Amino acid sequence: MTFDPAAAGWKLRSGQGPFTREVGPIWVKREKDGADGSAYALQAEERHTNSLGAVHGGMLMTLADHVLGWMVWDAVERAPAVTVSLNNQFIASAKAGDFIEMRGRIVRKTRSLIFIQGDATVDGKIVLTAEGIWKVLGQN
């Protein structure tokens, strides 16, 4: 049986740009209040896999960049912010058909920089960890 994100309370994330529409769609589910209160997810498809049949590492990194970036955007009340650094560690593989969920947490927030960490999971098992720094534009 195929997993149905909508039936499980997930909603398509609105405002997805051309690149996100090409690799997504990305799903979102509000779990608690705050900038880090939402979970995001991707239903992995064959087009997301590499020649070994695993979800391509570039796809997992793309998911991390999008999700953590959206969380930063919420944390700075939708001020423009850009990725300065994003480090990823591949822990396990995912495959086509997997529903890859990602959650993050703001670690530190200065006037112009946001430090964030996140984990991508499949059925509760971590497949990727990420940590990044975002620069809030227009801030000194």
DSSP for 59-121, please give it: HHHHHHHHHHHHHHHHHTTT--EEEEEEEEEE-S--BTT-EEEEEEEEEEE-SSEEEEEEEEE
Identify whether 78 is part of a domain.
yes
Task: Tally Cβ neighbours within 10 Å of residue 40.
Answer: 24
> Domains in the chain: how many in total?
1
Question: What CATH number is given to the structural domain containing 21?
Answer: 3.10.129.10
pLDDT digits (tens, 9 = 90+) for 86-115: 999 999 999 999 999 999 999 999 999 999
pLDDT digits (tens, 9 = 90+) for 12-59: 887 767 887 888 889 999 888 776 778 999 999 999 999 999 999 999
Residue 51, token pair as written in the block = 């020649």
pLDDT digits (tens, 9 = 90+) for 116-130: 999 999 999 999 999
Residue 92, token pair as written in the block = 């396990």
Identify whether 52 is part of a domain.
yes
Identify whether 3 is part of a domain.
no
Identify whether 2 is part of a domain.
no
Which tops the pLDDT comparison, 81 or 38?
81
pLDDT in the model for residue 35? 65
Residue 116, token pair as written in the block = 């964030």
Identify whether 103 is part of a domain.
yes
Identify whether 1 is part of a domain.
no
pLDDT in the model for residue 16? 67
3-state helix, strand, coil in the chain (%, to 5): 20, 45, 35
Identify whether 87 is part of a domain.
yes
Domain that holds residue 50: 13-136
Beta bridge partners of residue 116, listed in sequence order: 106, 132
Q: Return the residue matching tokens 């534009």.
A: 137
